[in-house]
Structures are given as C-alpha cells and as structure tokens.
Structure 1
C-alpha cells in the first residue's frame, strides 16, 4: 500500500496545530481541501485518523504515529528545500580548486579560511599544479576553477581569465637580516649570500633567474631548492639565505613568519595572478560566489600592500 507523503505532512500539521482550520491556515490551504486530504488518507488506510466527536480534534493511536512520520517527512522536505536554495545562491556545494603551490599556500589559503567562515556549507577540494596540469584539469572536468599567474597572451581560447593581482616579486629574507639594515644595497653586498630556489618547474624559478640578472648577478649560489612554501620559510628564518617570493606572500606571511622584503628593485614578471575557468562551463553556482569573493579580497589586499609601500617610500 502506497501512502501519499503529502497527506502525512498535512496530518502532522493538523495534529501540531490542534485542528483542521488551524492546520489549513498554517499550510496556506483551504479548510475543505485539507479535510478532503484527510478523508482520502483514511480511505487509503482503512482506519480513522481522529477519535469521533472529540473537540478539539484528538488523533487516534494510528493517527498520532502517522503524524510523527509526517513530521519527519516535512522536516526532511524543508531541509531539502533549504539545501536547494543555498545551492542555487552559491552558498552550498562542492568546489574543486587547483592552483600553483606558493600562491595557494601563501595567499589563497587565507581567503579560503575566510570564505568558509562565512559559507560553511561550501566544501572546497584543493589540489596543486602548474599551468599545463591545471588547464588539463579544467578541460577534463576534474577542476571547477584554477588560480595561477598568467600573461594575458597565454590564456587558451576555450577559457576565461579574471585577473586578481598584478605580478610583484621581491627579494625576501628573515627579519633582522644584515641586508635589511643596509642602505643602498649593492651587488657586492648580495654576492656573499646563498639563494633558496623554488621548484625548478615553477614560474617562480624563472623569476628568480631573471631577478638576479636584473640586479647584475649572473651567477648565484643555491643552497636549498624545490621545497614547499613552509620549508622555504623555515630555511629563510633559520639562515641568511635569500629568495624570490611574490610580495603578497611575504606580506601575509609576516603575521606568523618573521620575513622581510629587501628595498631593492628587481624585474617583475609580466603576469597576473587570476582565476582561470572554462568559457562554456561555469560549474556549480558556488564557483561564481567564490570567484567574486576572491576578487573582493584581492582588491583589499592590493590596497593594503599599496599603502604599506607608499609608507615605506616616504620613510626611505
């Protein structure tokens, strides 16, 4: 025997509110339609739902048990409706996000934490990769969006790229490094220090080569390479080594890691950090919500960094 679940929900509200009229009002239905629904349910089960002649209405034992089931069905339907509403608004769902390791760990993870503190029903599955791997993940449906530095001319025709942050690298060192107290740093001042190199297949490694050439140093000594951001930071803090990092990474890392950016101009990469997506596949609504959130947070970060650099120039 199949029972209409809507009839059980109506029964639950009638029992909860204590009468047909009250139940109909709570449901936004007419009293006759609610009464017909209960008659159909009684006909279907073959037993009365309410004790005859009792006012206010008093459910039979079977009617009460069916009302309990109806309450559970009603609660489940309300939960399902809420889930669909949140999903449509981009406030629930699952996002698969890939990105370059240094930026993901040094910058984006901070914003992911803030995003999930506001939108706790959005699950984010993060993975790492560089340009070729991330583009492949987008095309085969393994990723909903990718966060990476790119030159506008590198954007594939089947994808869109939303810039978030201009390229701005700095020479980073530990707080209190001898060079941080040196005015007018020269090539000879830098020559004695070893370098920490990012992974050889990363864009940041090529930035390191270009940066040291831009300050006149053709050869440089590497004493640590290929590590994660956490290991690079640990080696920096525990030694006098130097490295190249995005200024945004140094700026945000200083809250927990004692790093400094040397006041030395180097060539900046002709790239922008941004969000890469398939042009014809927008993904779940939460993708747009997350991308919009990142745009706002990166704008605020850029303003904070610009302000600090202006203050630093005035002091210098």
Structure 2
C-alpha cells in the first residue's frame, strides 16, 4: 500500500504539536485542510489514526507509528532542502583546481584547509602543473580554476586572470646559517655556498637565474635540484645551501621550518600570483565564485602581514 508522503508529514506535525489546530499553524495551513488530509489518510488505511473523543488529541498505535514514518520523511525533506540551499549558495559541490607546486604547497594548501573548515561540503580535487598544462586542462574542462604566478601578457585570450599578489622573491637559508651573523652582505660572502634549485621547467628556476645575475653572477653552483617544496626545505635546513623562494612561501614556511630571509636585494619577477579561469561561465559558478573570493581575501591578509614585516625590517 502506497501512502501520501505529504499526508504522513502532516500527521507527524499534528502528533508533535498535540492537535489539529496547532499542527495547522506549524505547517502554515488552514485547520480544515489539515482535517481533510487526515480524513483522506484514514480512508486510505481503513483504520482510525486518533482515539475518538480524546482531548487533547491522542494518536492510536497505528497513528503513532505512521507519524514516526512521517517525521522521517519530513526530516529527509528538510535535509534535502538544506542540501539544495548549500549548492545554490556555493557552499557545497565539487571544485577541481590546479596550481604550481611551490605556491600550492607553500601558500594555497593552507587556504584550502581554512576554506574547508568553513565549507566541509565542498570537495576539492587538486593537481600540479604550470601554465601550458593548466590552460589545457581548463579548456578541456578537467579543471575549474588554476592558481599560479603569471604576467598579464601570458593570459590566454579565452581566459580571465585575477592578479592577487605581486611577485617578490627572497634568498633563504637555514636558521643559524653563517651568513645570518654577517652585516652588509656582499656577493663575495655568498660566493662559496651552493644553491638549491627548483625544477628546471618551473618559473621559479628562471627566477633563481635572474636573482643570481642581479647580484653580479652569471653562473652558480647547484648542490640540489628538483623535488617538492618539502624536499627543498628539508635540504635547506640540513645544509648551508641557499635558495630563492617567493616571500609569501618563506613567510609561511617559517611557522614550521627554521629558516631565515637574508637581507640581500634581488630582482623580483614581473608577475602576480592569481586565479586563472575560462572566460565563459561554468556549471559550478557559485562554488567557484565563493572559493575565489575566499582565496582573494586570504591572500590580501597575507600581503598585509608581509608588508608589515617589510616595514619593520626597513626600520630595523
């Protein structure tokens, strides 16, 4: 026997509230319409749902059990409605993103964790890559967005780039490194130390080359190359080698890694860290918009913290 889910939900509210009038008010319906629904349900089951002549209203054993079933249906309906609302607001769904390894591991991963602590119903799938790979994945709709550093001239015509944080690189060493005890560092001071280089196909590797040239060297000795940010930091803290990192990555890495930023000015990359998307709208645009806004806010806060530190360094 198939019963009306709506009638069972009405029965559940009547039993919960203790009367037809109270149930009707809770449902936003008129008392006569609620009475008609119960009469139809009783006619369908062929048995009474309430004990006759009892005030306040008391359900029969059948009425009580059907009310429990109606409460489950009502709860499921309310939950389904909340799911729809979360999707409509962008607070639930699936987001596929890509990014360059150093920024993804050093900056963006913490932002993702913070975002998901607020919106746990958003599933995020992340891959690594550089501009050409990421742009191809965006066009193939394998990704919804990419977070990477790039110059405005690199933005593909069919895509939109939102710049969020300007390029700013620094030379980094382990805490307690011999160079941290010297003042007025010169090229001769750092000449005897090896360098840790990121993967050769990464923009950061080219940054390292430009940075070394900007302080008077055309060549440099690489003691370790490739690897992830975790391996770069592990080699850095276990040796006297130097490396070049984005200021934002070094700034956040110091929370868990004993490293220091050397007071040597180097050439900064002419690009911004930002969000790359296809220009056309996507199916999950609300989730994408919510996440993109969150990333922008968090990077803005991080930039303010970095700017404050730079001001303190200059005054020092």
1-structure distance, mates of 2:188, 2:175: 21
2-structure distance, mates of 1:196, 1:49: 78
Deviations 1:199-256, CA, capped at 9 Å, x for gaps: 1111111111111111111111111111110110010001010111101000011111
Matches within 5 A, 1:140-159: 140-159=140-159
Instruction: Report the equivalent of 1:287.
Output: 288
Asked whether 1:78 is paired with 2:78, we answer yes
Does 288-297 or 229-238 show the bigger shift?
288-297
Displacement of 1:116 in angstroms is 2.0
Matches within 5 A, 1:108-257: 108-257=108-257
Partner of 2:135, secondary structure, is helix
- Aligned pair count? 315
Unaligned runs of 5+ in 2: none
Instruction: Verify the 8 A CA contact 1:144 1:283 in the aligned structure 2.
Output: no
Instruction: Report the equivalent of 1:36.
Output: 36
Partner of 2:163, secondary structure, is strand
Unaligned runs of 5+ in 1: none
Partner of 2:234, secondary structure, is helix
Instruction: Verify the 8 A CA contact 1:51 1:60 in the aligned structure 2.
Output: yes
TM-score w.r.t. the length of structure 2 is 0.96
Partner of 1:268, secondary structure, is coil
Instruction: Report the equivalent of 1:63.
Output: 63
Instruction: Report the equivalent of 2:24.
Output: 24
Displacement of 1:283 in angstroms is 4.3
2-structure distance, mates of 1:245, 1:280: 34
2-structure distance, mates of 1:25, 1:137: 54
2-structure distance, mates of 1:11, 1:136: 56
TM-score w.r.t. the length of structure 1 is 0.96
2-structure distance, mates of 1:279, 1:38: 54
Partner of 2:95, secondary structure, is strand
Instruction: Report the equivalent of 2:93.
Output: 93
2-structure distance, mates of 1:164, 1:102: 16
Instruction: Report the equivalent of 1:277.
Output: 277
In angstroms, what is the RMSD of aligned CA positions?
1.4
2-structure distance, mates of 1:230, 1:84: 39
